[in-house]
Amino acid sequence: MRIVLLGAPGSGKGTQAKRLEASLTRPHVSTGDLLRAAVAAKTALGLKAAEVMERGELVSDELVLGILAERLGEKDACAGFILDGFPRNLAQAEALDKLLEELQQPVEHAILIDVRAESIIERLAKRAELEGRADDTAETVRRRLDVYREQTAPVVEYFREQGKLSMVDGEGDIDDVAARITGLLRSGEDGDDDEG
Ligand code: AMP
């Protein structure tokens, strides 16, 4: 099962991706996590990415695509994955298709976790208190939401045109949202003879 989770920052993609990782036994691949690990390890890539991330802007497509290709090339990802935080713009969506075509592993489902703007702001404020992420400050959050609207929202249409998009109501309890996603994937299995 090869899944892309879409949604604004704070929509719950990471949380739901972790749930899916456990239930589907496929790795959760988060470009944000991969970048944060590179920043923490002070690799050359991490040093380049850190400042961009703190501003809430997108790290260059080339850098992100490089770490993603490396991660998806690892053995545990060859039977599927749950992708979180990528693609963030149309160029990345096209690059992802190309990469997965080469690996003969096209995206099967793109799931948009739909959450109201007011809930997003509330959740990100809460996360800033709990996790203290460097990019959860009020100003950066505003920038990340703008970037999402301007660059990432068109990716939703990209997957819709491919007939791969499903929407899930992301409001409410984490367990309820998880159940909605599981239900959706289950209903998509009817007539699907893919073993993954
Ligand atoms: P996230 O944890 O997915 O919210 O990502 C945190 C930050 O990492 C983003 O605000 C970007 O600066 C950077 N980032 C994560 N994924 C990508 C991506 N696909 N393209 C560019 N930048 C990314």
Q: Tens digit of pLDDT for each residue in 157-193? A: 999 999 999 999 999 999 999 999 999 999 877 655 4
**pLDDT for the residue numbered 144:** 92
Looking at the predicted structure, is the pLDDT value of residue 194 above 70? no
Read off the tokens for 77: 């990802």
CA of 56 relative to ligand 1 center, distance in Å: 8
**pLDDT for the residue numbered 24:** 96
What percent of the chain is modeled with pLDDT above 90?
Answer: 81
The C-alpha atoms of residue 33 and residue 20 are separated, in whole angstroms, by: 16
**pLDDT for the residue numbered 127:** 85
**pLDDT for the residue numbered 136:** 81
Looking at the predicted structure, is the pLDDT value of residue 104 above 70? yes
CA of 110 relative to ligand 1 center, distance in Å: 18
Return the half-sphere exposure (C-beta side, CA atoms, 13 A cut-off) of residue 63.
19
Q: Average of pLDDT values for 125-134?
A: 84
Cα 11-124-50 angle, rounded to 5 deg: 100
172 φ/ψ sector (left φ>0, alpha ψ -120 to 50, else beta): left
Contacts for 45 with CB less than 8 Å, ≥ 6 apart: 35, 38, 63, 66, 67
Q: Supply the residues annotated as catalytic.
A: 13, 88, 127, 133, 144
CA of 35 relative to ligand 1 center, distance in Å: 7
| pTM for this entry | 0.92
Q: Which residue among 84, 88, 127, 158 has the greatest number of ligand 1 atoms within 8 angstroms of its CB, and so is best to mutate?
A: 88
Q: Which residue among 54, 58, 61 has the greatest number of ligand 1 atoms within 8 angstroms of its CB, and so is best to mutate?
A: 58
Q: Average of pLDDT values for 104-129?
A: 91
Query: Which of 80, 110, 106, 98 has its CA nearest to residue 13?
Result: 110
Question: Confidence band (pLDDT; 50, 70, 90) for 134?
Answer: confident
User: Highest-confidence range of 5-9, 120-124, 141-145, by mean pLDDT?
Assistant: 5-9
Looking at the predicted structure, is the pLDDT value of residue 149 above 70? yes
The C-alpha atoms of residue 55 and residue 51 are separated, in whole angstroms, by: 6
Read off the tokens for 70: 């490396």
Query: Which of 46, 19, 47 has its CA nearest to residue 34?
Result: 46
CA of 57 relative to ligand 1 center, distance in Å: 8
* Average pLDDT across the chain, whole number: 93
The binding-site residues of ligand 1, defined as CB within 6 angstroms of any ligand atom, are 9, 31-32, 35, 52-53, 56-59, 64, 85-86, 88, 92, 135, 144
Judge whether 31 and 114 are in contact, CB under 8 Å. Answer: no
Question: Confidence band (pLDDT; 50, 70, 90) for 196?
Answer: very low
Give the type of residue at 171: E
| Residue given tokens 């009020």 in the structure block | 138
